[in-house]
Amino acid sequence: MSSIQIRNVDQAFGKDKILSDISLSVQKGELFGFLGPSGSGKTTLVKMLAGVDAPSSGSVDVLGERMPQLKIMERIGYMAQSDALYPELTAQDNVLFFSALYRLSTKQAIERMHEVMTIVGLTDHMNKLVSNYSGGMKRRLSLAIALMHNPEILLLDEPTVGIDPILRKSVWKEFRQLANNGVTIIVTTHVMDEAEKCDRLGMIRDGKLIATGTPDDLRQATNTASIEEAFLAYGGASK
């Protein structure tokens, strides 16, 4: 069953074409990674899945509905590349504020907050002002907020940037558990070892989807030993 269906999507801003003829489906409970360098179009594509932007042409369907669609956006957990946090508030106040937007009761929010802050390793820092957080801590808080309402779909744009390796391993373990429980997860990354952890990958270069498949399939199809080599073989080398 497809949770996400992208058909012939183009995106342009003025004369600049960002995405070109993207078609792709993602299944329920799949951990799908968009792999590509900065500026390749990954963030633009995720924004369309989140309903933040509409495509110039083509269509994006999420959970059976054409995006953008407010009722579907409420069923999505979206972690943008830039942290949208209130630095003058504590981490706990940030979480409770966004929980209210997700229509969680105060009781539900407090119970869930302890769960997600444990996942991201911030339970000892909940009462700190976000202005005193490091960049990595802000990323972890943004991830916690995206998880608060138990979304059916998680859209995570470079979620582990600035997170230390030990916690990054723990976070990816949680991603796998969520996917096993039926949550559809889209992750953007340019980190090759993270790409290896995905069920399937979509390799993006210059706004074009140059290959899709499991990490094993992509390596075998290009007769390469690593995802990095496979990416280069599919045309991912710099021009």
Report the CATH number at residue 206: 3.40.50.300
The mean pLDDT value for 154-161 works out to: 92
Q: Is residue 231 part of a domain?
A: yes
SS3 call for 184: strand
- The yes-or-no verdict on residue 239 having pLDDT over 50 is no
Q: Is residue 193 part of a domain?
A: yes
Name the residue range of residue 211's domain: 30-53+73-236
- The yes-or-no verdict on residue 238 having pLDDT over 60 is no
Q: Is residue 137 part of a domain?
A: yes
pTM (two decimals): 0.92
Could you tell me what percent of the chain has a pLDDT over 70?
98
Q: Is residue 23 part of a domain?
A: no
Q: Is residue 151 part of a domain?
A: yes
Q: What is the pLDDT of residue 1?
A: 76
Could you tell me what percent of the chain has a pLDDT over 90?
81
Least-confidence region, from 115-119, 150-154, 232-236: 232-236
Q: What is the mean pLDDT of the chain?
A: 93
Q: Is residue 148 part of a domain?
A: yes
Task: State the Cα–Cα distance between residues 95 and 77, nearest whole angstrom.
Answer: 13
CB 113 within 8 A of CB 148: yes
23-62 pLDDT per residue, tens: 999 999 999 999 999 889 999 999 999 999 999 999 999 9
Beta strand ranges found along the chain (DSSP E): 2-13, 16-27, 31-35, 57-62, 65-66, 76-79, 153-157, 184-189, 200-205, 208-213
Q: State how far Cα 19 lies from the chain centre.
A: 18
Q: Is residue 10 part of a domain?
A: no
CB 146 within 8 A of CB 139: no
Task: State the Cα–Cα distance between residues 234 and 89, nearest whole angstrom.
Answer: 46
Q: Is residue 63 part of a domain?
A: no
How sure is the predictor about 167, in pLDDT bands with cuts at 50, 70 and 90?
Answer: confident
- The yes-or-no verdict on residue 236 having pLDDT over 70 is no
Q: What is the pLDDT of residue 211?
A: 97
Assigned token pair, 124: 């000892």
How sure is the predictor about 237, in pLDDT bands with cuts at 50, 70 and 90?
Answer: low
The mean pLDDT value for 11-33 works out to: 95
How sure is the predictor about 163, in pLDDT bands with cuts at 50, 70 and 90?
Answer: confident
Task: State the Cα–Cα distance between residues 214 and 15, nearest whole angstrom.
Answer: 34
- The yes-or-no verdict on residue 191 having pLDDT over 80 is yes
Count of structural domains within the chain: 1
- The yes-or-no verdict on residue 166 having pLDDT over 50 is yes
